[in-house]
Amino acid sequence: MKIGMSEGSVVTWNDQEIKKYPTKNSILPFITDPLLAEKSGTVPLTEVPRLMLPFVPPKIICLARNYSAHAVEMGIDPSKLPPFPPLFLKPPSSVIGPGEKIVIPQQTREVHHEVELAIVVGKRGKNISKENANEHIFGFTILLDITARDIQSKAKEKGHPWFVAKGFDTFCPLGPMIVTSDEIKNPHSLSIRLKVNDEVRQDGNTRDMIHKIDHIVEYCSSILTLEPGDIIATGTPEGVGKFDHGDRLQASIEKIGTLTIGVE
Ligand code: MG
């Protein structure tokens, strides 16, 4: 099942049909109340709906350095990576959706793209074991972890948190839809790509993740309670780089689709 937003309604579709739900502005009631599915109308699918931003998550947890080749390009020896992945948060206010634009803040001269597979949490949980992780995963979407690299480098030098480089408004494009986990049997075999103005910059595969998804859910939930609608971004493959005003970013993950975002 694929899920997105269209003109204020939550829409879901499969190969044959599309359902519309009267929920506005948030997909959360749909996730927490599966009975909504019984209340909706079903119509034959004639075309994939034009999708808007899926929803604004309660929290967005991000992993850093979860692909060896990306760690290398950031100047880190992969053999010296810690046993648990470094984490940071992006604020819900940084989320934008398909067709919207990233605004480059005045404080930076070097904004980078990082395309990432994002887990959408479907069931509340704390201290979730690896074995039970799948029960808590609603589905997957695409996230762009936009980063002011010059600000991040200065923060790293001073030992300050990275939040200042990651939390600007518009720095978390999300979408274009959520694909439920039953449609993605193996999330560790998906091609993951990013193009800037049709030039391929990142071209990886989720098989190269260092920490796998069950471990990520176990580790994150050992720190905080995961809630329905939370997002966990699983790190970026190599090829991160600068983009500029007027560029167009296309982030694609196999079985999910393409998230297209402009730059103001
Ligand atoms: Mg990242």
The 10s digit of each residue's pLDDT in 167-211 is: 999 999 999 888 888 889 999 999 999 999 999 999 999 999 999
d(CA 88, CA 95): 15
d(CA 172, CA 53): 11
Cα angle 253-255-257, degrees, rounded to a multiple of 5 = 55
Q: What percent of the chain has a predicted confidence (pLDDT) above 70?
A: 87
Cα dihedral 162/166/168/172 (nearest 10): -160
Q: How far is the CA of 168 from the centre of ligand 1 (A)?
A: 14
What the block records as the tokens of 105 is 């803040």
Q: How far is the CA of 66 from the centre of ligand 1 (A)?
A: 9
Q: Which residue has the higher pLDDT, 205 or 84?
A: 205
In the block, tokens 């329905």 appear at 228
Q: How far is the CA of 147 from the centre of ligand 1 (A)?
A: 8
The pLDDT mean for the chain works out to: 89
Q: How far is the CA of 116 from the centre of ligand 1 (A)?
A: 7
Contacts with 67 (C-beta within 8 Å, 6 or more apart), sequence order: 204, 208, 209, 210, 235, 236, 237, 238
**What was the pLDDT predicted at 53?**
62
Please report the DSSP string for 25-92 in residue order. S-SHHHHH-TTHHHHSEEEE-SSPPPPB-----S-EEEESS-BHHHHHHTT--GGG--SS--EEEE-G
213-234 pLDDT, tens digit per residue, is 999 999 999 999 999 889 999 9
**What was the pLDDT predicted at 2?**
82
Q: How far is the CA of 86 from the centre of ligand 1 (A)?
A: 10
Nearest residue to 3 via CA among 30, 43, 25, 34: 30
One-letter amino acid of 216: I
Domains in the chain with CATH codes? 1-52 (no CATH), 53-263 (3.90.850.10)
**What was the pLDDT predicted at 52?**
62
Q: How far is the CA of 12 from the centre of ligand 1 (A)?
A: 28
H-only helix segments in the chain:
28-32, 36-39, 68-73, 149-158, 163-166, 213-223
Q: How far is the CA of 46 from the centre of ligand 1 (A)?
A: 36
Q: How far is the CA of 170 from the centre of ligand 1 (A)?
A: 15
d(CA 77, CA 63): 17
Q: How far is the CA of 68 from the centre of ligand 1 (A)?
A: 13
Cα dihedral 150/152/153/158 (nearest 10): 130
Q: How far is the CA of 236 from the centre of ligand 1 (A)?
A: 5
Q: How far is the CA of 75 from the centre of ligand 1 (A)?
A: 15
Q: How far is the CA of 39 from the centre of ligand 1 (A)?
A: 38
Q: How far is the CA of 6 from the centre of ligand 1 (A)?
A: 28
d(CA 116, CA 103): 20
25 pLDDT exceeds 60? no
Contacts with 33 (C-beta within 8 Å, 6 or more apart), sequence order: none
